[in-house]
Structures are given as structure tokens and as C-alpha cells.
């Protein structure tokens, strides 16, 4: 499992393409299907990658019904699992659970938030046709893979925005200064600090330069609360 996990992480970090997203989870975990979706206002709601029709159908049911593990994982910022979807799931998701059990059918389902810091915008779903309980190690590994996907999805979305001029925002002095300040505030890497700035700008609908200026002028900062990154103005 550890070798498979290490290989999967390397694939996700190296390629970062939708074709690799969901299928990579099948190489690590004993599940029958996986999907990656964006949820909510940040990137919109839609399926980014799915291993097959059943995995896609489970996401579509959650979108249509407005409930299910992917919504809970994204909103809470933590893994959500139900090893007995027909029984335990019916109490948690009265509309989704019976539809999923009958339509796919799914016996167990797990969801992991896709996020960068406190900016949550999606989830990874894993399902099985026979009941399965993921171990704590498997839960940790799936969460780590979902975090890598969060960076990839946000980078892709930011790359489609038009707030970058011909010089490129990464070369501007103010963004470098802001990156250094966020790095110090949160004790993270420079790449992660830059993603925090970009993600905050993307969610706020403001240019990266405007957010960077606010950080440099100390009108905006970041700190951790219960392990999550929060912005302070």
C-alpha cells in the first residue's frame, strides 16, 4: 500500500491532468469507483474526473439532491465516510442514500475535501459495491492525495483568469514580498504561500496584485485556527 501510495502521489504531483485524477485512487485503495468534483461558488459545481458511469452517477445524484458525503466533506473540511450506506447513510442523507443504494448500487462511500488552506472547493468520492471500512492510514493517504488535487485544480483555474499581464504576476516585486510575508505567517513553503494569495484573490474576485498589496501594506494577513488558514483584515 505504501509503495502504491507513493507512486500515486508522484503521478498526481508530476502530471496534474484530469485523466489521472480519479483513476489514481483505484491504484491505491480497494474501491470500485472514484470521482473528483468541484462544488460551490469558487469553481462552480461539476464533475472533473470519474472512473466510470457509476462514479459519475453518484456525483450527479448529490448535485441534484443537494446532499451527500461530497457536500459534507467540502463544507466541514474533513473526510466523511459511511461504510453502510443503506442503513447509516439513510439517517444522514435521507434522499441521497436510498437513491445511491438502488441506482448504482453503492454499499459504502467516502469523501475527502479538495482545498487549498481554508479555501474549499471540491471533493473526492470513493465508493464500493460491497461494504468496506477504510483504515485510518487509508483515510490519511486519501486525504493527502485530495490535497494535491486541490493545488492542481486551483492552479488550472487561476491559469484561466485574465488578471495576469504580459510580465507575469510571479515576477512582480510586490507579489514576491507578499509571498514572503505569508510564508512567515503560516510557516509554509513559498509555493504554498503563493497559492494562498492566488486562492484568496480568486475567491474574492480581485486581482492578485490587489491582494498582494494589501498583504504588503499589512491590511491583510493570514493565520491558522484549528489547523485551518484564515484571513484577517
Q: Which residue has the higher pLDDT, 172 or 17?
A: 17
Instruction: Please return the burial class of 92, using the count of CB atoms within 10 Å of its CB with bins 0-12, 13-18 and 19+.
Output: middle
Query: In Å, what is the CA distance from 98 to each residue of 6, 36, 65, 103, 105?
Result: 36, 22, 12, 8, 9
pTM above 0.75, yes or no: no
- Grid cell in block for residue 130: 460491497
Q: What are 29-40's pLDDT values in tens digits?
A: 999 999 999 988
* CA-closest candidate to residue 62, choices 84, 47, 78, 81: 47
What are the start and end residues of each CATH 1.10.10 domain in the chain? 169-232
Q: What are 103-161's pLDDT values in tens digits?
A: 898 999 999 999 987 788 899 999 999 999 999 999 999 999 999 988 888 877 766 55
Query: What's residue 11's pLDDT?
Result: 86
Q: What are 59-87's pLDDT values in tens digits?
A: 999 999 999 999 999 999 999 999 999 99
Query: What's residue 171's pLDDT?
Result: 35
Query: What's residue 168's pLDDT?
Result: 43
Query: What's residue 189's pLDDT?
Result: 83
The CATH code for residues 2-159 is: 3.30.450.40
Q: Cis bond leading into 105, ω under 30°?
A: yes
Instruction: State the CATH class of domain 169-232.
Output: mainly alpha
Compute the average pLDDT of residues 6-25.
Answer: 84
Query: What's residue 230's pLDDT?
Result: 83
Q: What are 206-233's pLDDT values in tens digits?
A: 878 888 889 988 899 998 877 678 888 8
What are the start and end residues of each CATH 3.30.450.40 domain in the chain? 2-159
Amino acid at each position: 500500500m505504501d509503495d502504491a501510495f507513493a507512486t500515486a502521489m508522484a503521478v498526481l504531483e508530476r502530471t496534474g491532468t484530469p485523466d489521472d485524477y480519479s483513476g489514481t485512487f483505484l491504484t491505491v485503495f480497494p474501491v470500485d469507483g472514484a470521482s473528483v468534483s468541484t462544488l460551490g461558488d469558487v469553481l462552480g459545481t461539476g464533475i472533473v474526473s470519474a472512473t466510470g458511469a457509476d462514479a459519475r452517477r453518484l456525483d450527479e445524484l448529490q448535485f441534484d439532491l443537494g446532499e451527500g458525503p461530497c457536500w459534507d466533506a467540502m463544507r466541514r473540511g474533513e473526510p466523511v465516510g459511511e461504510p453502510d450506506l443503506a442503513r447509516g447513510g439513510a439517517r444522514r442523507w435521507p434522499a441521497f442514500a436510498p437513491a445511491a443504494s438502488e441506482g448504482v448500487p453503492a454499499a459504502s462511500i467516502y469523501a475527502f475535501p479538495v482545498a487549498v488552506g481554508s479555501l474549499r472547493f471540491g471533493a473526492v468520492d470513493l465508493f464500493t459495491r460491497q461494504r468496506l471500512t477504510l483504515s485510518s492510514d487509508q483515510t490519511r493517504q486519501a486525504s493527502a492525495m485530495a490535497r494535491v488535487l486541490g493545488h492542481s485544480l486551483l492552479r488550472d483555474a487561476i491559469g484561466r483568469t485574465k488578471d495576469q499581464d504580459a510580465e507575469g504576476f510571479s515576477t512582480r516585486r510586490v507579489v514576491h514580498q507578499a509571498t514572503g510575508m505569508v510564508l512567515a505567517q503560516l510557516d509554509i513553503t513559498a509555493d504554498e504561500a503563493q497559492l494562498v494569495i492566488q486562492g484568496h484573490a480568486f475567491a474574492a474576485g480581485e486581482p492578485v496584485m490587489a491582494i498582494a498589496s494589501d498583504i504588503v501594506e499589512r491590511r491583510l494577513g493570514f493565520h491558522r485556527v484549528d489547523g485551518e488558514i484564515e484571513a484577517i483584515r
